[in-house]
Amino acid sequence: PIWLRRAAAAAAAEEELRVLEKTLGEAEERAKGEGAARIAAKEAEGERERQRDTARARAAAEVAQEASERALRASADEERLRGVVGQLKEEVAARDRSRAELEERERQEAASRRAAAAARDREERE
């Protein structure tokens, strides 16, 4: 009878619908799991990128700190060198003054000797 075939077809259709709904549910669960996995992977990548950025920032800060320390040392070295140069200039100036004083004494002594020799010559001539 037709009603029996229709009932069998309806039962088969209902069974196929249950199977399709179950398959759809499983597919939705897998999609949710895959979506969560993709989200977790993106979050993990974001965290790795933040860690890399933090490491880069830390390295840049260390480089800046070292540069600052080198600049301070260079400044201190420059001040010391200026002090040394100033001291050397003073020593050179003192040496030049001593040399000038010595040369002046030698000139005066030579002039004195010449004057004494001239006086002796005059006395001898007289």
The pLDDT of residue 6 is above 90: no
Q: Residue 35 has which token pair?
A: 């979506």
Amino acid at 63: V
Residue 3 CB burial class (10 angstroms; 0-12, 13-18, ≥19): exposed
pLDDT band at residue 77 using 50, 70 and 90 as cut-offs: very high
User: Residue for token digits 């920032």?
Assistant: 57
Rounded to whole angstroms, what are the CA distances from 35 to 41, 43, 54, 59?
Answer: 10, 12, 28, 36
Measure the CA–CA gap between 15 and 86, rounded to whole angstroms.
105
Please state the pTM of the whole predicted model: 0.45
Residue 35 has what pLDDT? 80
